[in-house]
Structure formats: C-alpha cells, structure tokens
A and B are shown apart, each in its own frame.
Chain A
C-alpha cells in the first residue's frame, strides 16, 4: 500500500537542541545574554548565523546537524526536525578579513571601526569588541599608530602567513583526531584498512586547506593554495581522455585479432552451469522456426568459404 505523504513545511518550531560550550552561555560574569546574530559569511557572502556572548567578547559559529528522517522527543513534546545545533568558538578575524580586504584595495591606512561597517549587517561592528579581534589584527594588517589612534591596512603577505599557520594547526588536529583525509575514503563511517601513516602529508595539507577555505572567499582560498605550494587539482573533465575519432587511412582495414577461431569446430562453447529462472522459462519456449541469434552473423562468412 503506497500512500502519498505530503511534506509540510516547518510551521513553527518551539524548541531546539543545542550543544554549546559552557563559556558560550556563561551569564554569570557578564550581564548580557548570549545573542544570535546574522553576519556576512566570508565564504559565501550570504547571511549566516553566529552567536556573540559575554558582552560581545566571544564569537561562536552556529552549525546545524541535519539529516532526513530525524525528529526529537523533548520532554513531553515532539520536535519535528532532528536538527542538532552546534555553537562552537570561532576566530573573529575570519569575519573581519573580507572588510579589510575590500578597503585594502584603496591602499590607505584606516581606523578599523571605519572599515568594519556593513549596511546589510549592522551587527558586524560588534565583532571588534571581541577579545581576540583588535589584539590579533596584526596578523592580517600592517599597523600605524598616530597619537592614540591606530590605523590599519590589509596585508596579503601577513594574511597568507597567518592562514598557513591555521592550516598547519588544522593538520595537527586532524592527525591527533585520526580523521581520514585520503581521497579513497569517502565517508568516515566506512572502515578503512589504510593506517594513518599511509596518508601523505599532502593529503592532510589539502584537507586542512579545504577546511580553512570554508571561512575564506574563493579568491583567498586559491591564493592560499599557491602559498602552500599545492598544485591545483585537475577537474575530472580535464583528466578524461579525448573522445576517440576514427583514423582515416588509405590502407585496407584489417581486424586486429583473429576472431575466426570461434567458428572452428574445436572451439566448443561451454554450456552455462546454471540458468536463472528467467533463462529457464525462455529455454522452455517453443523455438521451432526461430533463427538463432548467431545465424544473423555467420552465414556470410560460411558462404565465402564455399
């Protein structure tokens, strides 16, 4: 009985299941509650959800585990999507970086609070109050101090070195966590017999680069690849052999192999050992007056021999 089921869109969701670090929801130290904010995703340029907590001192990214056919039982209620939200710490520099790159094209030293501005995402200025933001700006900019004011200018060179360190750190975590990075293994749920030592360092580097690129614009990701001295992978299309074309020659065409041996009496075809049910039922059929399949191919050869 196949009944049609309609997927109704999420009407209203009342509860969510979130996994967050204690520090993310620590309201003891600071009066303000952690808040979800929408900011520009550095990789996609679209809206993504983040969380600022502890009076905007800490930035967290929000990722959702989402798979078909999952639901929650929460207390005495049912939550229809089986979503599991992860709130994990994030380096605010990744989000600040696109703004600095944009203004860096002007080549001027500017105060950051004038750079990190976005009409679409007004909350982005709050990123600057994170503990790690101002203190680590030197990783991606050159700094000048005039009196009490600080001025910054985007530096590609510094950024690349910073990102390289990020990649290297990621590699060490990947190794420590035993994460399979080889091309051969497509899913972590499959057990691979390949031991960790079999992976080349390049595999790790490439994997880590991909992971860091999740937080970078495509352009920057490419630059980083060059900086890491990793050759760009060829797309499968380029590796595909060129489509074959028949060569034109004046010489008579001859078969490359001798197929006539199949017509000789010595060549006895072995009967198939077992037949499937379908083959059996076919074999039972009345075949009188029917030509065999091979008869369509053989007569001309025989005629020539005579």
Chain B
C-alpha cells in the first residue's frame, strides 16, 4: 500500500486504489464497505471497499479474514499481505478523509455531519468501482445510522445491485472484513507516520489510541493546545473533546454564525424591542445624528480615540 499520495498533503481527502483484477470486469462481483477511525479525535477516518468475483467468496473466507477489531495489528498487516497476494481476483480502494476534512465539513456554515459524510464517501467508492468496470451484483455494508434507511438509500442510488446493510457486517461477510482490514491498516500506518505540517519541533507521538476517553490522548491534547490556533491539523476540531478544551483553555473566538443569546445579540445589533413598535412613539429616542449611508454602508466611522 503506497500512502505517498496522501502524505504529500495530509490536509486533504485522498483516494488510494489497487489495480482492478481482470476477472472483476467480466464476472459478477460482490463488494464490502467498512470504515476505520470513526470515533477517534485524532487522525483520519478511512473508508475502504473490497471486491471480488462472487465465485471466489469461499477462497476469501478461507484466507480467514475476520473483523479487524478482533485482530492484533500484526495479524492485520499479515492479512493485508494475503489480500495483496490475491490481487488476481481481489481489488480494493480506500478513501482517506483527513482530520482536516472532517473538521471543516462538520464546522462549516451549512453543517455536514459525520453520517452524511460517511454515506457520501461510501457511495463515492461504490461509484468508483462501477466506473472502473467492476461487475457489481452484491454490496455489503456495515451500517452507519439506521440500517433500513441506509439500505433504502443505497438501493435507490444503485438500482440492479443487491444491497445488504447490517450492523456488525464486518464479522458476518468476509468481503466486508477484508474491506475493514484494508481501512484499518491504512489508518494505523497513517497515524503512526503522521507528518505534522505545523512547526511543532520534536512532536511527542505518544498520543495513545486517539479515542477521546484514552487518558494518553487527553494528556496529549492538553499539551498541544495553542491558545490562538487550537490544534495541529491532526486533531478533529469538531470533536467535543477538542472543542471543550479549546473553549476553556484557548482564546475565545467569535464567528459570524455563532449562536448568541437572543437578547444580547439583539442589543448588539441595536434591535428595537417589539414593544417599542406599539408605544405611540412617545419615548422614541432620536438618534443624535445618523451617519450618512455612504459611511454606514462601508462600515466607516469616526473615532474619538485610538
């Protein structure tokens, strides 16, 4: 697995793919989708697909791919090696969503939540397989959100393909397990070799699992909090763990789409109280002198002091 396309700029989303085996273009295929790194506050989320001819399902099963969570890192590396050796009939593709992509998606003005991001990534990968000429007949997916809804959504998008969405699909279908191994291996390698774009000097890489409840991760987050900038791009800013720390330890930053308390923001925007419209203009205060709109439109005003 060559991670260099992602490592050249780890702030972006990146797709890594194996070669498409020739049999996959001619024979009916099955495809599994799974993800790695959904929960951690650190590092990317990796979506993986794995596909092979339906006729080769048994061979895949015999290679003893299993749910990546039940395996040690060495076993996973080992299994990935096996998948790589079976490249004559097994293909895979990965979509690496950098922590920066996740942060900016979830924190942008029109919020793009993690489920929507996950669904769209999975859809994108299936579409990639189709575009590459893989003869897809069956798709197996580990669910994100309610399984029925997700299944309905995918079936509608890909008519003619038999879509099965199940929780724990990675332990039920070998092809999903294979996808989960690809994703997990990629994520492990990326997290291990993360190249910080920020100038942090010697970075302490002992950040634990990256999950919010890991004490090591928490300690690391505390250590690398910059009061102005927050965190390196390695951290998902949208995670409440990171946000809480930034809110309490960092400098307060106000954005235009911040939710403000109604009364306060009304005061700041010089809004009149509703009641003011009902009184007969008795206590209406005449503005001292309104600035001409040439200036007010350009947000220009005189100063009394520097």
Q: Contact residues of A with B, CB < 8 Å? A: 1-8, 13, 16, 36, 38, 41, 43-44, 46-49, 61-69, 78, 85-86, 179, 186-188, 207, 210-211, 213-214, 218, 237
Contacts and interface: CB of A to CB of B under 8 A. Distances in A.
B294 A63 contact: no
B43 to A, nearest CB: 22
10 contacts: A5-B254, A43-B289, A44-B288, A47-B304, A48-B303, A63-B302, A64-B302, A66-B299, A207-B294, A214-B291
A64 B254 contact: no
A217 B297 CA distance: 22
B202 interface: no
Contacts of B294: 179, 207, 210-211, 214
B275 interface: no
Interface residues of B, number: 32
A217 to B, nearest CB: 9
Given A68-B256, A210-B293, A214-B295, A1 B301 contact: no
Kindly name the residue among B228, B293, B299, B302 whose own CB sees the greatest number of chain A CB atoms within 10 A. Answer: B302
B254 A65 contact: no
Q: Is the interface of B mostly helix, strand, loop or mixed?
A: loop
A46 B291 CA distance: 14
B283 interface: no
A78 B301 CA distance: 23
B159 to A, nearest CB: 26
Nearest to A221: B289
B197 to A, nearest CB: 17
Nearest to B305: A49
B292 A213 contact: yes
A230 B34 CA distance: 74
A11 B264 CA distance: 21
Interface of B: 228, 240, 243, 247, 251-252, 254-256, 258-261, 268, 281, 288-289, 291-295, 297-306
A78 B247 contact: no
Contacts of A210: 292-294
Given A62-B303, A210-B294, 11 more contacts: A5-B252, A8-B252, A48-B303, A49-B305, A68-B268, A69-B256, A78-B228, A179-B294, A210-B292, A214-B291, A237-B281
B305 A69 contact: no
A49 B303 contact: yes
Nearest to B300: A63
A179 B295 CA distance: 12
A65 B299 CA distance: 5
B306 A44 contact: no
